[in-house]
Amino acid sequence: MVDKFFKISQRGSSVSTEVIGGLTTFLAMAYIIAVNPGILMVAGVPFEGALTATCFGAALMTIIMGLWANRPIALASGMGINAVVAFSISLGVGVDWRVAMAVILVEGIIILILVICGLREAVMRAIPVSLRRAIGIGIGLFIAFIGLQNGGVVVSSAATAVELGDLTTPFAIVSVISILTAVILTALKVRGGLLISIVFATIVGIPFGVTPIPEAIFSLPDFSTFGAPFQMTEEGILPIVKVFMTPVLLMFAFSLLMSDFFDTVGTVVAVGTQAGFVDEKGDVKNAKEILIVDSAAAAVGGLVGASSVTSYVESMSGVAAGARTGLSNMVIGLGFIVFAFFAPVIGVVSGAATCGALVVVGFLMMSDIGEIEWNDISVAFPAFITIIGMPLTYSMSHGIGFGFISFCVIKTFQGKFREVKPLMWVAALAFLATFIFT
C-alpha cells in the first residue's frame, strides 16, 4: 500500500532508503529549530512560541508536500527571510512582530495566486536550460560554502572578506572530521553515509566540547504565536490591516515575494535534477503541485508566526542519501513534530556536525557543469554570473537575478532579443527594480 501510494519501487527506491534519506535531510536542516526562534526573539517573538511555530509549520508543509506532490522536498522557515522579518521589518520599520508576520502572510497569498494562475510555473519554463543548470550548480557552491562557514573552516575577514579559519580549534577539528567521514563513506558508497557522518561528528563533538549535553530533554509546545496576523497589537489595530495602511510594508512584501519566488525555483530545479524529476528539456515534473505547496507554506509561516516557510535546499542531502519520494517527507515531518517536544535534544547537532554532509552535497551538484554551452557567451556568461553570484552575495535569488538580467542584456546587444521569452524580460525587469529600490 505504502509502496504503491508513494511509487517507491517505481522510482527505484525502498522504504528503508526513504527513511534514511528523510533522517539525513532532517538532521541537515534541524538547526532551524534552534536558530529561527533565536533570530525572531530579537523582534519580540516569544522564544518558546517561535520554536513551536517553527516545528509545526515545517512538519505540516513538509508532510503536505510529500502527500500531494510526492517529491523529497522538505520545507521550513527560511534563513535570511527570518532576519528580514526581525531586523528590517520589525526593528527597522518599528512595527510589532505580528505586523511583520502579516507581511509574510500577504506575500504568501500573492505568490499562491500567481501559482494558481500558472505564472510561477510559466516563468520556470521560460528560463533557458543552461541557466537552469547553472542555478543548480550555484546552489551547490552555496551549500558547500554554508557548510564550510557553519563549520568554522571558512571565516569572515576584514581584509579579504573570507579566509581559512583556525583549523586547530575544536569546532573546526570536528568539521574536518565530518568532511572526511562524509567523503570517505560516499566514496565507499555506504548506504546512509551522510546521515552516519552527521551522527558520528555529533558524538565526536562531545569530548571536544562542540556538542553540548542538553540541559533538558522535554518541553511542552507553546502555540501563542499562532494566528499572529490577526492578534490585536498594542496600538489596537489588526496587523493585517496595518500592512495595507503602510506603503513601506507593501514594498517589503514585494521584495520578499521576489526572494521567495526565485529561491524556490532554484531549489526545485536543483533537487529535481539530482532526484530525477527534471526531464531532458529541463522541465520539472509535478512543478505546479510543488509550487502550490511552497507558496501556501509562505502564507502558513506568517499565519503561525514562524516567518516564511519555504523549500529547503538541504533536501539535497536526503536526495544524495537516496530519497526519491514523498515518504521521506513523512519521516522529516514526524521528526519536526517529535522535536517540538524534545527541542533541547536536536539543538545539540552543530554546524560542525552537518558540515561534511553539506560539502559533499555541494560536490554532487557540480555534475551538470559540463552540460552548459560554454562556447556561447550569451548563455555561458549568465550561467557563470549565476553560479558565482549565489555564494558571493549569500543569496540564491540575487544570483538568479544577475543571470536573468545579463542574459537579456547580452541577447539584446547581439540583436537576438526575440530569443528571450517575454516572461524572462518581466522577471529581469522585476529583479532590476528590486536591486534598485530595495
Domain count, the chain: 1
Q: What residue spans of 65-192 are helical by DSSP H?
A: 81-83, 97-116, 119-126, 129-150, 170-187
Residuewise pLDDT in 10s, the chain (438 residues) = 889 999 999 999 999 999 999 999 998 888 788 778 877 888 899 988 999 999 999 999 999 999 999 999 999 998 778 877 888 788 888 899 999 999 999 999 999 998 898 887 787 778 888 888 888 788 788 878 888 998 999 999 999 999 999 999 999 999 999 999 999 998 998 877 887 888 899 999 999 999 988 877 888 899 999 999 999 887 788 999 999 998 888 878 887 887 787 788 888 888 998 888 887 776 788 888 999 999 999 999 999 999 999 999 889 889 988 999 999 999 999 999 998 988 777 667 788 988 898 888 788 878 778 888 899 999 999 999 999 998 898 877 788 889 999 999 999 999 998 889 888 898 899 889 888 876
Cα angle 278-326-330, degrees, rounded to a multiple of 5 = 155
Is residue 84 within 8 Å of residue 438, measured between CB atoms?
A: no
CA dist., res. 256 & res. 235, Å (int): 25
Bridge partners of 161, per DSSP, are 157
Between the two ends of the chain, the Cα-to-Cα distance in Å is 50
Is residue 129 within 8 Å of residue 281, measured between CB atoms?
A: yes
Question: What domain range includes position 379?
Answer: 2-437
Q: Whole-model pTM above 0.85?
A: no
